[in-house]
Structure 1
Amino acid sequence: MRELPVTGRPPAERADAALNRRRILRAAAELIDTRGVEAVSMDEVARAAGVGVGTVYRRFGDRARLVYAVIDDREREFQAAFIQGPPPLGPGAPPLVRLRAFLHALADRTEAQADLLLMAESGPPDARFRDGSYGLYHRHLAMLIGRTAPAADAPYLADALLAPLAANLFLHQRRVRAMPLERIKAGLDALLAGLGAP
């Protein structure tokens, strides 16, 4: 199987552009850490970074993309772990075991950055699906589902398994329904159980 590419690597850029990018991301991360995710606006980030607001818009396009860029480092680590890391999350474990490891790791990742993910997903209605990470997750799950249950509708089931990990639903379950993270993981296991049945 051809190795999947890790998405989100910044393209090669001029030194001044790279410096501005680092300033903007550092300013956005500091605003989020000190005042909460709602404090992130393009104007505030520009002021904190010492750049023009036009620079922020040209570089990131919109608020959702800026937030995705802030969480990019953690995202790249996660992708490297399931693409080329050790089993069971990485290659080498049976497909169903890898599916479970992936969903549990993604639940942990969502738990750690749910507010940021919610902001990133609050752009256009399809913001979550336009993100390169979602496409990579979907292809990865569809591949593992196909190996586990060849007759299954792998693309549909990949979407179905990713749906409970949308930030808005995840936060509703954690904060409104007071579901512990382990209960969410148990629910994901229940969804997977059908794939392991003969």
Structure 2
Amino acid sequence: MKKLVTLGAAGLVALTLAGCGSETKTNTNSNEKAEKTVKGTTDSTSDNTFKDNTFTMAKEKVSYKITNVKTFPSAGDQNKKTIVLECDITNNGNEPADLAAKANPYTYVHASQKTNNAEKELQPGTIAIDDNGNNPEQAREDTMNSSKVLPHKTVQGMIAFDTVDDSPVTVTFENQIFKNIGSKTYKIQ
């Protein structure tokens, strides 16, 4: 009988200790996850920036320096215009940067126009193709759709939006949590 009580007590102690052990592991894992989340959102040195007409995507290590702004007929509607922000695009990282996927500026760069009735979000634009196919803007557009920029190299590309009318276009630049970090307004010519 004493052996039975002793075995029962030992079993109860073992179960109690096992329960405490798993509880400790759960709390440790939760704290580690929370700490990682906080670090990821508060580290300002690894966030996107917009300064001196240059938008830098920190995670992708790619910068878009706006060198000129022009308008062209839109491919979608010849009566409307596409505003083109010509850019020197530099890959500051050690891996090729895919401009159509990971380093796509349209993730963090948006544009809008205030019309008579509302503020309209603009869609990424495409310029009308000329008959000869030798427009330098077409080469910039091709770069955006099909190129990977090699490490520490610069190419010419563009960020384009189809406009709704001739009112000024406001382009906004966002950080990695999609908060506005800068904007610039351009007149349609």
TM over 0.5: no
TM-score by length of 1: 0.26
Identify the structure with the greater strand proportion: 2
Give the TM-score, by structure 2 length.
Answer: 0.26
**Bigger radius of gyration, 1 or 2?**
2
